[in-house]
Structure 1
Amino acid sequence: MTDRLGPIPFEQLSDAQRAAAQAVIDGPRGALYGPFVPLLRSPELMAAAQRMGEYLRYRSAIGVRLSELAILVTARQWTQQVEWAIHAPLALANGIKQDTIDAIAARRRPAAMAADETLVHDFCLELHQRRQVAEPTYAAALALFGEQGVVDLIGINGYYTFLSMVMNSAQTAVPASPAAPLPE
């Protein structure tokens, strides 16, 4: 598979592209990689996406551990190898069990999750597969996370779906990772 929208040499970047790239590099990500490589073709879109993603990934109302779980469920739904390569190790480092990660990769329901993980898993699957969230699942999420947490959880699913669409279309190169690739 060819990386359709690969890296642009620094000297070929426009001023707007250079500024957008620098904002990513100067932020918590520390480098320009993954979805930001193809998104650099639209620097204003990239800048807006980067700001949203920075909030959702690092400061969402549901916390990093559950955000990483939601990212994995989304990456699996889209078979998005770059997101999986980046976020499976982060999920593990933030407290998601390897058995849970392996089950999501295999499209199986994880056998043993914490109650909050089960709720996030089910909420994400319903949103992706049914295009809505059942009332009992929504009510449980609202009770546990509050309105901001529910909106942030929806936002994580939407944001990482957007990134998956970008990278699947661009055929973005998968970085080296300790995580096994997602099975097709």
Structure 2
Amino acid sequence: MAALPDPTASLTGAGRAIFEDILARRAAKGVHHLGPYIPLLNHPELAKLIEQLGWYYKYESKLPRDIYQFVVLILAKRSKVEFVWEDHVAAARAAGLPEAVTQMVAQDKRAFPAPFDLVDRITDCAFAFQSIPQPLQDSAIAAFGIEGLLEIVTLCGFYSMMAMVNGCFDVALPAPAPHRGT
């Protein structure tokens, strides 16, 4: 296994404060695992900055939540990093991403309904590091604004980075919560 050590028990000073802040921010939103932040906390300042950007995307961005989650699932499928898919598929459903669209992504089918077809074409350009054709840019700006278009493109980069951290350092999926039957 290529996992980095879990530094959380030995963090002190500013590193400890960053760790506790990340824990508190995530817990306030109901997220009780650190996932890729465990290896990232070997470099606390970097972890802090990455978490702040992730927080923005997840909780403050201009994109509709279903579009945000669609971009993440597209990246998860393309990267083949299971952690990203498993960490986001339930959130995608909760955000209103249609189940049919989720299944199309899972099955690598590419005939998405609007507006997901538009977003998929933008992600194709982003992942290929190619210019987005003007008509496609114009359609995206009409649908999501310039800020939304920028967020779609940069989300591709952000979640590519997160997939790299998860894949390169064998970040384990969080254990499922114990089933509490009625």
Q: Classify the TM-score, shorter chain.
A: 0.7 to 0.9
Q: Which has the higher contact order (CA 8 A, sep 6+)?
A: 1
Shift of 1:31: 3.5
Cα displacement string for residues 146-173 of structure 1 (whole angstroms, at most 9, x for unaligned residues): 1111111122111111111111111111
> What code does the residue aligned with 2:126 have?
L
What are the within-5 Å matches in structure 2 for residues 88-107 of structure 1? 88-107=89-108
Stretches of structure 1 lacking an aligned partner (at least 5 in a row) = 179-184
> What code does the residue aligned with 2:78 have?
Q
> What code does the residue aligned with 1:106 have?
Q
* Matched-pair contact (CA < 8 Å) for 1:20–1:47: yes
**Residue equivalent to 1:24:** 22
Stretches of structure 2 lacking an aligned partner (at least 5 in a row) = 178-182
Give the TM-score taking structure 2 as reference length: 0.85
**Residue equivalent to 2:13:** 15
Shift of 1:71: 0.8
- What's the Cα RMSD here? 2.1
Q: If you compute each CA radius of gyration, which structure gives the higher value, 1 or 2?
A: 2
> What code does the residue aligned with 1:39 have?
L
Indicate the SS of the match to 2:6. coil
Is 1:139 matched up with 2:138?
A: yes
Give the TM-score taking structure 1 as reference length: 0.84
**Residue equivalent to 2:42:** 41
**Residue equivalent to 1:182:** none
Shift of 1:32: 4.4
Percent of paired sites with the same residue: 24
Cα displacement string for residues 31-79 of structure 1 (whole angstroms, at most 9, x for unaligned residues): 4411111111111111001111101111211122211111111111211
| Number of residue pairs matched by the alignment | 174
Q: State the distance in 2 between where 1:98 and 1:109 align.
A: 15
Taking a change above 3 Å as real, the CA distance of residues 32 and 46 of structure 1, as seen in their structure-2 partners, is farther
**Residue equivalent to 1:181:** none
> What code does the residue aligned with 2:125 have?
E
* Matched-pair contact (CA < 8 Å) for 1:72–1:84: yes
